[in-house]
Amino acid sequence: MRISNRTPARSTCLLVITTVVIVFGTIIGAGIVTAQSVPSQSDGQYAVVQGDECVTIDPLGNGSQSVEAFYDYRTPNTEPRSYNYSSYGTTHLQEDDTSSLFLYEGRDGISLVLLHDQHAGDTAGGAVTMEFTGLPDAGEWVIEDDRYEGRDDEFMHDRTSSRITWVYTDGRNDGAAFRGGLDDDVELTIDPAFNDAADFRLYEGTITDWQVLSATENGYERTSLDMTEPIEIRSDGCPSVSVTELEIDDTVTTGESVAITATVENAGQRTVTTAVPITVDGEIVDKWDVTLEPGETTTLSTTTTFNDTGTYTVAAGDRTMTMSVTGSGDEMVGFGVVAVSLAALAGVLLIRYRQ
């Protein structure tokens, strides 16, 4: 048996004709292009919301010790004792002239921990007032720093709300810890007032930064907050509404009505109402206010026309597509030239094939 690596002439002609037909059909069939869906970032269990900003946070700690042991508040009446009335267990998290907050996963559940300034640091003291609303009924302030007779700090509690003012001198820090009910649904608001804005002030030190801490694989990270605006700590994560698909004709002619379709998904853990604008080269051509339940998806559609030829960028949310607008006769002229050329080529090949 002999195997030849030659392709017969008739087979070659059939192959070329088939290729021409496929190319011809591809040109005719060009149509709608769908934007690829990009997976959304998963939400953390807890989130800190301030205005339009939202950051997910993870609790520090591994559940091995109580928040009291972790905080390690020392006075002359504790063992070990100290006359500095400060937290000795959180010195690695403390910073000069900085107020910090974070969640701590302790042996008895999740706690909210607050730290103001740094023990034995280069600080001249300070003053901080914070009002807390939405505290869980099941919780309590298990650490009040300071807690002793004749203290300058002021702790006022009323079931699910508290107003606390801390004042401390140089070389010391203050803080508190609330435990109970934070493992469940939480919507807790903290309204801060620092320095001269505090309810009262005894020392000249100044807080210059307000931060929230979040656990990471290698330790923790800090996010600075606006010192003049309240925050909300939530247990249902940050909103995660995104446009997952954007559909539009990739080529249209001037004066032609063009359909734009966007698919919007709420991948978060809570109901969200948000605005979804459709823009062309940055200018809004349509806009919807949509409310989506967790896991819900909706499709939005609009139409627009283009009066000028050129290339345009259409966007919905974080999805973008580029489309071309040609003159009313441009597309058919170009198409006719290609069609005639391909037909002529197919005819020549067919004649050769019959010969």
Please give, one letter per residue, the 3-state secondary structure of 237-292. Answer: CCCCEEEEEEEEECEEECCCEEEEEEEEEECCCCCEEEEEEEEECCEEEEEEEEEE
Name the domain boundary from 234, 269, 284: 234
Instruction: Judge contact between 297 and 276, C-beta under 8 A.
Output: no
In a domain, 353, yes or no: no
Overall number of domains in the chain: 2
15: in domain: no
Amino acid at 313: T
The pLDDT tens digits for 204-220 are 999 999 999 999 999 99
**Does 245 fall in a domain?**
yes
Question: At 271, which CATH number?
Answer: 2.60.40.10
297 in any annotated domain: yes
Does residue 120 sit in the same domain as residue 243?
Answer: no
pTM of structure: 0.68
Residue 262 domain boundaries? 20-40+239-326
Tokens of 324: 């071309």
Q: pLDDT tens digits, residue range 293-337?
A: 988 999 999 999 999 999 999 999 889 999 999 987 554 444 454
Confidence class for position 79, pLDDT limits 50, 70, 90: very high
Q: Examine the fold and report which residue of 209, 234, 259 is the final residue of a domain before the chain moves on.
A: 234
Which of 210, 234, 258 is a domain's end point?
234
User: Within this chain, do residues 164 and 191 fall inside the same structural domain, yes or no?
Assistant: yes
- Closest CA relative to residue 34, chosen from 241, 325, 250: 250
pLDDT band per the 50, 70, 90 thresholds, residue 180 = very high
